[in-house]
Amino acid sequence: MIATNASFDRGAAGAAKQSRPLFFISDLHLSEALPNTVTAFEHFVEVTANEADSVFILGDLFEFWIGDDILDAPSSHPRAAFARRMTRLMHTLSERGIGLYVMHGNRDFLLGPRFMKDAGAMLLPEPFVITGFGKRIVLAHGDGLCTADRGYQAFRALARNRIAQRLFLALPLDTRMGVGQRMRTKSEGGRMAGAAPKYDVTRKAVSELFIASHTHTLIHGHTHRPAMHREVEGVRWVLPDWELDVAAPRGGYLRLDEQGLRALPL
Ligand code: MN
């Protein structure tokens, strides 16, 4: 269940190279419809990240990803130009020697090998344990921890099923775009209902993850309830979502360095 990659431990976050911090973000929900959020991400990649050893994106970077073939669609195709622009932007991180690790969220779980290659990113399985500055940390998007929402967990199992994914990817791009649009509209409603306890992580799922991963620190996103919780088994950090196209803009990131973890504004 828990993947620990030894070479990763050495390269990105191991003992040999501890001076530059690790940054964690999630739930940017990037789309061409949210220009200020996109601008904030551009600033984060081009300026903020320069200090970092690596950037970890823990899911829902994009509002929806209908398949890597969007990267080959003509620029006249809505979203193709945007997808390529964001991918090119992320690739500049590796050009500057900054690692980029991407985990799937519940909206962009179709980000595939072609995207990873073009973005200069490495896909992380979920959950994933890293070691940075002597601290073992388990990373997750967080939707898998919301086990009180049975209907959603059933959808999640289907959405992450490879056969179901292959069937979806075999549909024409425009059909997939329509499905993405409808899911987006539906989850806007879901976002409103987000305050109900059903849409938060459960004590049981969090406890099981801490125990299975042999860690005492968890970082996840998804719930849009940024906080630092002291749980029985360890500390649970919840990443903020980014939304800069509203009256009260929000967003932020976590930074891990020799001082430990801390939440910072954009
Ligand atoms: Mn999510």
Tell me if 126 is assigned to some domain.
yes
> For residue 193, is pLDDT > 60?
no
Residues 9-58 have pLDDT tens digits of 444 444 455 689 999 999 999 999 999 999 999 999 999 999 999 999 99
Whole-number Å distance, alpha carbon 255 to ligand 1 midpoint, is 20
Q: Has residue 10 been placed in a domain? A: no
Q: d(Cα 12, Cα 239) in Å, to the nearest integer? A: 21
Q: How far is the CA of 159 from the centre of ligand 1 (A)?
A: 13
This prediction has a pTM of 0.90
| Å from CA of 143 to ligand 1 middle | 6
Which of 12-26, 67-81, 169-183, 236-250 is predicted least confidently? Answer: 12-26
258 Cα: distance to centroid of ligand 1 (angstroms): 29
How does pLDDT run across 156-171, given as a tens digit for each residue?
999 889 999 999 999 9
CATH number for 217: 3.60.21.10
CA–CA gap between residue 16 and residue 138 (Å, rounded): 20
Give distance in angstroms: CA of 26 to centre of ligand 1. Answer: 8
Domain that holds residue 203: 22-265
CA of 28 to the centre of ligand 1 (A): 10
Q: How far is the centre of ligand 1, averaged over its atoms, from the C-alpha of 61 (Å)?
A: 9
Give phi and psi for 236, each to the nearest 5: -115, 115
Q: How far is the CA of 148 from the centre of ligand 1 (A)?
A: 15
CA of 19 from ligand 1 middle (Å) equals: 31
pLDDT of res. 190:
47
Contact 100, 119 (CB under 8 A): yes
Return the structure tokens found at 132: 């940075």
pLDDT band at residue 153 using 50, 70 and 90 as cut-offs: very high
What is the rounded distance in angstroms from the CA atom of residue 187 to the CA atom of residue 183? 6
Ligand 1 midpoint to CA 241 (Å)? 9
How far, in Å, from the CA of 260 to the mean position of ligand 1? 25
Model confidence at 195, pLDDT cuts 50, 70, 90, reads: low
Given a cut of 80, is residue 72 above it in pLDDT? yes
| In-domain check, residue 43 | yes
In a domain, 236, yes or no: yes
- Contact residues for 20 (Cβ-Cβ < 8 A; gap 6+): 51, 52, 53
The span from the CA of 216 to the CA of 261, in Å, is 13
CA angle 81, 85, 91 (to 5 degrees): 145
Ligand 1 centre distance from Cα of residue 68 (Å): 19
- DSSP alpha helices (H): ranges in the chain? 6-11, 35-46, 80-95, 113-119, 150-159, 162-169, 173-192, 203-213
Here the tokens at position 183 are 């899911």
Q: With beta carbons less than 8 A apart as the criterion, state whether 100 and 54 touch.
A: yes
Which tokens sit at 7? 């070479």
| Cα 9–chain centre separation | 20
Distance from Cα 16 to the centre of ligand 1, integer Å: 33
Residue 13 lies in a domain: no
Query: Residue 223 Cα, ligand 1 centroid: separation in angstroms?
Result: 7
- Specify the number of domains making up the chain: 1
User: In whole angstroms, how far apart are CA 74 and each of 69, 114, 189?
Assistant: 10, 16, 32
CA of 15 to the centre of ligand 1 (A): 32
Query: Residue 9 falls within a domain, yes or no?
Result: no
In this prediction, what percent of the chain has a pLDDT beyond 90?
78
- Residues around ligand 1, an ion, CB closer than 5 A: 60, 105-106, 222
Provide the b/e sequence for 95-123 (b: ≥16 CB within 10 Å). eeebbbbbbbbbbbbbbbeebbebbbbee
Ligand 1 geometric centre to CA of 60 (Å): 5
In-domain check, residue 219: yes
